[in-house]
Structure 1
Amino acid sequence: MLYICLRFPLLGLDALTNTTNVQPCALVDGGRVQLLNRAAKTAGVTASMSLTTAIALCPELHCRQRDRAREQHYWHQLALWAYRFSDDVSLSPPNALLLEVSRSLRLFGNLQRLYRTLLSAYRKRGLQLRVGIGNTPMAAELLSRQGIRAATLVNARGELQRPALKNALAAAPSRHLPLAAPQLSVLHNMGLRRVGDVLSLPRKELLSAFDDTMADTIERLTGRRSDPRPRFQPSEHFHTERQFDGGLQQCEQLRLPISAMLRELEIYLRLRQRLNRDLHWSFHFLDGHHEHWQTPVSLRHFQQPLLLELVMLQLQHVRLPGPVERLTLTCRDFIALETPAEQLFDCPEQGRQQDAMQQLFAKLQLRLGEHTIQRLASRDALLPEHQGIACPSANYQHQRVDQQALRPSWLLTTPLELDQQAGKLCWRGPLEILQGPERLDSHWWQQRQVRDYYIAQHRDHGLCWLFKDCLSQRWYLHGFFS
């Protein structure tokens, strides 16, 4: 087993604002500074300092009140993002994630490549990150507090060096062990300042000086006892957001944030094996005003580039009333992702045509309006003119067509009465009956309709659909075959 712990020391601040090191930022709780970035530290601000003192030292300090609910939600978002690198992700309170990556090494080649990709992915989001690597969950958590570079633990082939890991663990401060404050105080008073000092004690001495908790902690740290962690489970609804300090003025500036948010949704859907049916966007402006709008989704598969194109197409018709300070994306309507059974003679081109048709419908809906696009569906009726019905594209469901009876693709709105010349039916020339009759007898409770339908051929070899009204003995042209 191999674990990587990702620790976010500024998690509470990252959840509220972009913690760049250019502007001094601090997280305030109970009138005191809880977290601060490097620029604030350079200005002389320290943790636990009163807000009044901090502002006196640094008048340009950007202070944000702690929001625990938003902080936890952002933590869960980071956990969801970690599923790009491992299928075993756990939350490690108060501000860390734990990934079991032994099965991911084959995908990334080696540990060093996985480490670099992981580090780059989170730092691109402007996050401060400390990483720990270990053969047990607790070892990785302990080393993540030290911020040890992976190069000291990984050899040139990208493999973990066990002796280097053991030495790094032994050098870690014992105050970082997950123990109660009284036990940590006893370790300090005994002069056991390093984890290596604690590990060197015999088990009997540990049990005599401490309770079973200490022995259990050491055994889980060294791997002599299993340390299972509950896997992170995503919520039933998807929600993500982006904060923009100073606001974004133009729609095109939203392209990159929207693209990143859709990629997060893609990871969420893949994890839950679901497909979303809509995208709910919320724009929060600097003046406190906010707007909501929806992007309908009717695709058979999640396609991030296409969805991005649809959203930007929808934005072309939106006039932003001011700078966008925050953008949120929420999805609540999901359907199960079903993998269609493949047949021996399936045609891949047919699936691509269906995808292209759905893409066309989606673009037309965004340009013309959701209710302007309708599709033809069939309903249970015997008379052909009552079988077809136009329904909104969003409510359309594919139906299997009865292949036993041939039906034309073009049906006339009103049947056209035919003439007869020399005993032959005529419509712009003579018609030759090829097949029929097919008897339809219906509506006896209103105005009875008895018809015999035939397939006929025109002189230009086109196929027509005719019927004879058995009550009036008249012939009519009702449709054309493609």
Structure 2
Amino acid sequence: MLWLAIHLPQLALDIFPPMPDDGTALQRPRIVVASHGRGERLALVDALAASLGLKPDMKLSAALALVNELTIHRRKPQAEASALTQLAAWALRFTPTVATVPQTLLLEIGGCLRYFGGLDALRAQVEQGVAAQGYALASAVAPTPLAAQWLACHGDGATVTATAELPTALASLPLTVLALEPAPAQTLRQLGIASLGQLLALPRAGLGRRVGKQLPLALDRALGHAADPRDPFIPPDRFERCIDLDWPVETLEVFVKLAARLLEALDAFLSGRGLGVQTLFFRFTHDDHPASGLRVGIGRPTRRAAEWLAVLRERIVHEQLVAPATSVTLVADTLQLLDGRPLTLFGPQGGQGLPELLLARLGARLGQGAVIGVATVPEHRPERAWREAAPGTAAAALPVGPRPGWLLPEPQPLPWRNERPWHGEPLTCLGRAERIESGWWDGGDVARDYYVAQGESGARYWIFHDCRDGGWWLHGCFA
């Protein structure tokens, strides 16, 4: 087996979008704080904050004394777990065996290397995909999941493909990669143990008596001496992603920028399983107003963020927020299998969407009632053989003769000249008549012989001869 670990060292910060930059505001250092006893301490700092002397575990009061202009985020463990879940669902496109541990994805890739062009190519695809979703990362490859996790946590990009190489590869790692509980960590410090190499040199039995059995077992699992079964990741049957804001969103134009990030996450979540959605719901929370929402639909299931964003832009033209929003949540409850249908071979061409996307954009801008489709009805009388339907509604084709694309609202009488019907020119009937007799049960009974007729100009029409009064009528035109 071969495991690829993707460690997300900045996950607690990456889940927060940066403040919109209008080009005039100075960039502020960003920090994540968490409750600690009676106060708050820094859990994570960005590069700018670190350059100003801020570091994890510092008291917030001390940090503010050093730097008074900070963007402060409260840590959101639930949002971190949600982001990791959605990344795991995305990773299913590479391998069916995905597992998660805090801040880390574990992918068993030994069986799919050839499919993706080898280890380096697969690793690059995974790294680029994670980075494209806005996450800082460090990766490592090892024959055991725990070794890969520790190496990725250290952040030097190690690649170990043979179990025999693991003791050497792990030896230089600091004990911090183990994420030990305070008591065993203190015991090891008192013993002067600072690296995994020193730890691996200790007798397992004596180590177990001092710090418990879990640490020796973890070492054996990392080295491949003991089994390390992992619960496979099972993706959720719905998508929900929330962005909590430390600044209020006051306009839908700013909301669209946040929505783009949410839609990219949705795209990634769905693509790993071959799924799409047809309806989305955006939920907004407000400080001084009940929660509000915005529903967006499209004519066929899709997962493409660009298509959803195009529809969303049309949808919000005549909308406005009821109040400044403090969080935005995207919900997709009904996931649909795309049945292996290719969206397109080479993606959208020339920026042009499919007909369903155009219909969705028109409906979003004009209102759904302004865009209708047409479906057939099992009725022989042409004027009653159709009905209004939602755009894209499929209906079975009826076994009838040729029908024009344009049917007149009401048949128009045709004059009879020189033994032929006229419509600005003499018309010649082509082929045999199609007899339609129907409607005796509802008082709208008809008896007609329909023909495809052609004028001297080449134009073709759909006409009928009324078997009761002998008149000729125009009922439709062919393209």
Q: Normalized against structure 1, the TM-score is what?
A: 0.75
Aligned to 2:98: 89
8 Å CA contact 1:429–1:458 kept in 2: the answer is no
Cα shift readout 1:21-60 (whole Å, capped 9, x = no counterpart): 81444122553435242638966776385x7777678766
Matched residues in 2 for 1:14 and 1:408: separation?
A: 58
Moved more, 434-443 or 196-205: 196-205
Q: How does 1:53-452 map to 2 (within 5 A)?
A: 65-83=74-92, 87-93=96-102, 95-102=103-110, 122=130, 127=135, 129-145=137-153, 147-150=154-157, 153-154=158-159, 165-173=166-174, 177=178, 194-200=195-201, 216-242=217-243, 245-247=246-248, 257-283=258-284, 291-299=292-300, 301-319=302-320, 326-339=327-340, 356-393=354-391, 396-421=392-417, 424-447=420-443, 449-452=445-448
What's the secondary structure of 1:398's corresponding residue? Answer: coil
How far has the Cα of 1:373 moved from its partner? 0.8
* CA 1:475–1:65: 2 relative to 1, 3 Å: same
Residues in 2 aligned to 1:21 and 1:97: alpha-carbon distance in whole angstroms = 30
- Structure 2 Cα separation of the partners of residues 466 and 83 of structure 1: 59
CA distance in 2, matches of 1:119, 1:446: 68
Identity %: 26
Relative to structure 1, the CA distance from residue 408 to residue 340 in structure 2 (aligned partners, 3 Å threshold; closer, same or farther) is: same
Amino acid at match of 2:397: V
Offset of residue 196 of structure 1: 3.4
Partner SS, residue 452 of structure 1? strand
Secondary structure at the residue paired with 2:57? coil
Structure 1 match to 2:463? 466
Structure-2 change in CA distance of 1:275 and 1:18 (3 Å): same
Q: Go from structure 1 to structure 2 and tell me whether the alpha carbon gap of 1:182 and 1:284 turns closer, same or farther (over 3 Å shift).
A: closer
40 and 125 in structure 1: CA distance in 2 versus 1, 3 angstrom threshold: farther
Give the conservation status (yes or no) of the 8 Å contact 1:436–1:453. Answer: no
Secondary structure in structure 2 of the residue aligned to 1:298: strand
Distance 1:388 1:295, change over 3 A: same
Give the Cα separation in 2 of the matches to 1:62 and 1:340: 45
Given the superposition, is the C-alpha separation of residues 100 and 416 from structure 1 closer, same or farther in structure 2, using an over 3 Å criterion?
same
How far apart, CA to CA, are the structure 2 residues paired with 1:302 and 1:214?
A: 44
Q: Greater relative contact order: 1 or 2 (C-alpha under 8 angstroms, separation 6 or more)?
A: 2
Matching residue's letter, 1:476: W
SS of 2:370 mapped into structure 1: coil
For residues 317 and 161 of structure 1, do their structure 2 counterparts lie closer, same or farther at Cα, with a shift above 3 Å needed?
Answer: farther
How many residue pairs get aligned? The number is 462
Aligned residue number for residue 2 of structure 1: 2
Q: Does residue 1:480 correspond to 2:477, yes or no?
A: yes
Task: Find the aligned partners of 1:231 and 1:289 in 2 and give their Cα distance.
Answer: 39
Q: Equivalents in 2 of 1:200, 1:257: separation in Å? A: 51
SS at 2:269 equivalent: helix
* Cα separation, partners in 2 of 1:126 and 1:243, compared to 1, 3 Å: farther
Q: 2:274–2:340: 8 Å Cα contact kept in structure 1?
A: no
Query: CA contact under 8 A between 1:295 and 1:311: conserved in structure 2?
Result: yes
Mapped to 2, the partners of 1:112 and 1:287 lie a distance apart of 52
| Paired letter, 2:363 | Q
Local SS of the residue matching 1:464:
strand
The one-letter code sitting in structure 2 at the alignment partner of 1:292 is G
Q: In structure 2, what is the equivalent of residue 31 of structure 1?
A: 38
Provide the C-alpha distance between the structure 2 equivalents of 1:82 and 1:279, rounded to a whole number of angstroms: 23
Aligned to 1:344: none
Report the Cα distance in structure 2 between the residues aligned to 1:37 and 1:322, rounded to whole angstroms: 31
Q: Aligned partner of 2:406: which letter?
A: W
User: What is the Cα deviation at residue 238 of structure 1?
Assistant: 1.5
Residue type at the aligned position of 1:227: D
Matched position secondary structure for 2:369:
coil
Q: 1: CA distance between counterparts of 2:430 and 2:39?
A: 91
2:17 and 2:416 map into 1 onto residues whose CA distance is: 82
> What is the rounded CA distance, in whole Å, between the counterparts of 2:122 and 2:231 in structure 1?
23
Where 2:266 maps in the other structure, the secondary structure is helix
Where 2:272 maps in the other structure, the secondary structure is helix
Q: Given the superposition, is the C-alpha separation of residues 454 and 56 from structure 1 closer, same or farther in structure 2, using an over 3 Å criterion?
A: closer
Find the aligned partners of 1:122 and 1:453 in 2 and give their Cα distance.
66
Q: Which runs of 5+ in 1 are unaligned?
A: 342-347
Change (3 A) 1:114 1:466: closer
Q: Are the structure 2 counterparts of residues 286 and 104 from structure 1 closer, same or farther at C-alpha, using a change threshold of 3 Å?
A: farther
1:323 and 1:446, CA in 2 relative to 1: closer, same or farther beyond 3 A? closer
Deviates more, 1:30-39 or 1:183-192: 183-192
The structural deviation recorded for 1:220 is: 1.9
CA distance in 2, matches of 1:459, 1:434: 10
1:435 and 1:454 in contact (8 A); partners too: no
C-alpha spacing 1:124/1:324, structure 2 compared with 1 (3 Å): farther
CA contact (8 A) 1:300 1:355 kept: no
Render the CA deviation track for 1:121-148: whole Å, top value 9, x for unaligned. Answer: 6567665545444221111223344x24
Contact 1:457 1:464 (8 Å CA) reproduced? yes
Query: Deviations 1:188-232 (Å, cap 9, x if unpaired)?
Result: 777766443454466777789898756643432212333232232
DSSP 3-state at the match of 2:448: strand
Post-superposition offset of 1:120? 6.1
Q: 1:358 to 1:89 in 2, by over 3 A?
A: same
Report if aligned partners of 2:12, 2:44 keep a CA contact under 8 Å in 1.
Answer: no
2:443 is paired with a residue whose SS is coil
Q: Deviations over 1:162-204 (max 9, x none)?
A: 7775324123356765888777777677776644345446677
Alpha-carbon distance in structure 2 between the residues aligned to 1:458 and 1:113: 63
Give the residue type in structure 2 aligned to 1:140: A
Query: What amino acid sits opposite 2:38 in the alignment?
Result: G
- CA offset at residue 379 of structure 1? 1.0
Whether the 8 Å CA contact 1:83–1:267 is kept in 2: the answer is no
Determine the C-alpha separation between the residues in 1 that align with 2:110 and 2:116.
11
